[in-house]
C-alpha cells in the first residue's frame, strides 16, 4: 500500500537534527557499499528553466527512490519511493520542505565534522528560501554566538534577519557586504544564485570552514577557484560520490581543474577508497582554510577534494599540487 505525504506532514514529522542524523547514517551506508547515489541529471529550457532528477538506492533497507522537479518560475518537487524487492510504489512525498531540510542538513553534517570545535561566529551569504534551514543546520551543531547576514536585497535581508532571529533565537547582525560578513568568521555559508564569484580567497581568515550550496547548475558559481587550489586548504566536497555532478572525464569549469571524489566513510582513518569519476560541477562544497600546513593533513598541504570525508586524517590528503 502506498501513501502520499504532504508538505505539512513532512514539517510535522521531521526536524533538522533528525535530518542530520539521517544523512549521517545514509552516507555511512554508502561508504559501506550498502547504498548508492544516482548521478544527478538536469535539462534546461527557455534559457533558465530546469528539469532535475536525483536518486539513491538503499536495497537492504527495502527502498529506492528518486526526487524530481521542474523549476520554471516556481517548483513542486516530489520524492517517489519504491520497494527495492518488488518495485512497488511505497510513497510519494511532497518534497519542497524535505529538500530544504536535506540541503541544510548536509551543511550541518559537514560543519559538525569539519569546522573548528569552538566555532561560534558565522557568516551567511544569501537570505532566500534556503537560508533559514542552512542557518538552523549550523546552529544545530555549533553554539553560534554571532551571525552576520548579507544579501543584495536590503529589504529581503532585513526581513530575513527579523524572522530568523525570532525563529532560531540567534544574535543576527546585518552586514553591508560579503567582505564585512565574512571578516574573521569561523564558519561561512554561501547560499546564493550567483553567476560570478562573490567570495575571494583573501577574504577568509585561517581556519575558516566554508559551505557553498548555491551552484546547482552550470552557470552558477559562488567562490573563486583559488579557494580550492590554495596549498594550505584542506578541502572536502559535500556531494556524495558523483551525485549531482556532470561526469566529464577531465573538463575544466570556471578555470578550476576537475576533481576526484572519495566517499564519506566513518572508517576514513583506515584509508579512503579509490576515487570515483572526475566531476566538473558539484552540488555543494565544504572546505576548510588551514591555519598552517603543519597543523592540517598531517603536516602536508592538501590538493584533494575528498567527497564527504569526515575526518582530517592525513590519508585523505595528497602532496602539494597533486590529486590522489
> What phi and psi values does residue 174 have, to the nearest 5 degrees?
-90, 125
Q: Are 179 and 111 in contact (CB under 8 A)?
A: no
Rounded to an integer, what distance in angstroms lies between the CA atom of residue 110 and that of residue 99?
A: 17
* 143: nearest Cα among 114, 106, 169: 169
b/e 10-48 (16+ beta carbons within 10 angstroms → b): beeebebeebbeebbebbbbbbeeebbbbbbebeeeeee
> pLDDT tens string for the chain (324 positions)?
789 999 999 999 999 999 999 999 999 999 999 999 998 899 999 988 999 999 999 999 999 999 999 999 899 999 999 999 999 999 999 999 999 899 899 999 999 998 999 999 999 999 998 999 999 999 999 999 999 999 999 999 999 999 999 999 999 999 999 999 999 999 999 999 888 888 988 898 888 999 988 877 777 888 887 777 654 455 444 443 333 333 222 333 444 433 333 333 333 323 333 333 333 333 345 655 543 322 333 322 222 222 222 222 323 323 232 222
Q: Are 259 and 245 in contact (CB under 8 A)?
A: no
Rounded to an integer, what distance in angstroms lies between the CA atom of residue 211 and that of residue 187?
A: 8
Can you give the pTM of this predicted structure?
0.73
| Dihedral over Cα of 163, 164, 170, 175: its sign | negative
Q: How many CB atoms lie within 10 A of CB 231?
A: 12
What are the DSSP E strand ranges found in 10-118? Answer: 36-45, 49-58, 63-71, 78-83, 89-94
What are 5-41's pLDDT values in tens digits?
999 999 999 999 999 999 999 999 999 999 999 988 9
Rounded to an integer, what distance in angstroms lies between the CA atom of residue 222 and that of residue 200?
A: 9
CA 319 to chain centroid: 25
Amino acid at each position: 500500500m502506498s501513501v502520499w505525504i504532504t508538505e505539512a506532514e513532512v514539517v510535522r514529522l521531521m526536524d533538522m537534527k533528525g535530518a542530520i542524523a539521517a544523512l549521517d547514517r545514509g552516507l555511512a551506508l554508502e561508504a559501506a557499499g550498502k547504498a548508492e547515489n544516482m548521478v544527478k541529471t538536469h535539462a534546461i529550457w527557455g534559457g533558465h528553466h530546469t528539469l532535475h532528477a536525483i536518486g539513491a538506492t538503499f536495497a537492504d533497507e527495502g527502498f529506492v527512490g528518486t526526487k524530481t522537479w521542474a523549476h520554471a518560475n516556481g517548483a513542486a518537487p516530489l520524492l517517489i519511493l519504491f520497494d527495492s524487492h518488488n518495485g512497488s510504489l511505497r510513497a510519494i512525498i511532497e518534497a519542497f520542505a524535505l529538500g530544504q531540510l536535506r540541503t541544510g542538513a548536509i551543511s550541518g553534517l559537514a560543519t559538525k565534522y569539519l569546522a573548528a570545535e569552538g566555532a561560534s561566529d558565522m557568516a551567511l551569504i544569501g537570505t532566500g528560501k534556503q537560508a533559514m534551514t542552512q542557518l538552523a543546520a549550523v546552529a544545530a551543531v555549533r553554539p553560534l554566538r554571532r551571525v552576520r547576514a548579507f544579501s543584495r536585497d536590503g529589504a529581503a535581508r532585513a526581513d530575513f534577519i527579523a524572522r530568523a532571529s525570532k525563529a532560531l533565537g540567534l544574535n543576527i547582525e546585518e552586514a553591508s557586504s560579503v567582505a564585512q560578513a565574512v571578516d574573521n568568521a569561523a564558519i561561512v555559508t554561501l547560499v546564493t544564485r550567483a553567476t560570478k564569484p562573490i567570495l575571494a580567497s583573501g577574504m577568509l581568515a585561517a581556519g575558516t570552514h566554508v559551505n557553498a550550496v548555491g551552484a546547482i547548475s552550470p552557470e552558477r558559481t559562488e567562490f573563486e577557484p583559488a579557494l580550492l587550489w590554495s596549498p594550505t586548504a584542506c578541502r572536502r566536497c559535500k556531494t556524495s560520490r558523483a551525485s549531482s555532478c556532470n561526469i566529464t572525464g577531465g573538463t575544466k569549469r570556471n578555470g578550476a581543474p576537475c576533481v576526484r571524489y572519495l566517499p564519506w566513510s566513518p572508517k576514513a582513518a583506515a584509508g579512503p577508497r579509490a576515487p570515483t569519476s572526475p566531476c566538473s560541477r558539484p552540488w555543494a562544497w565544504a572546505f576548510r582554510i588551514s591555519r598552517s600546513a603543519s597543523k592540517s593533513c598531517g603536516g602536508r598541504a592538501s590538493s584533494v577534494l575528498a567527497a564527504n570525508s569526515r575526518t582530517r586524517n592525513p590519508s585523505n590528503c595528497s602532496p602539494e599540487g597533486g590529486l590522489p
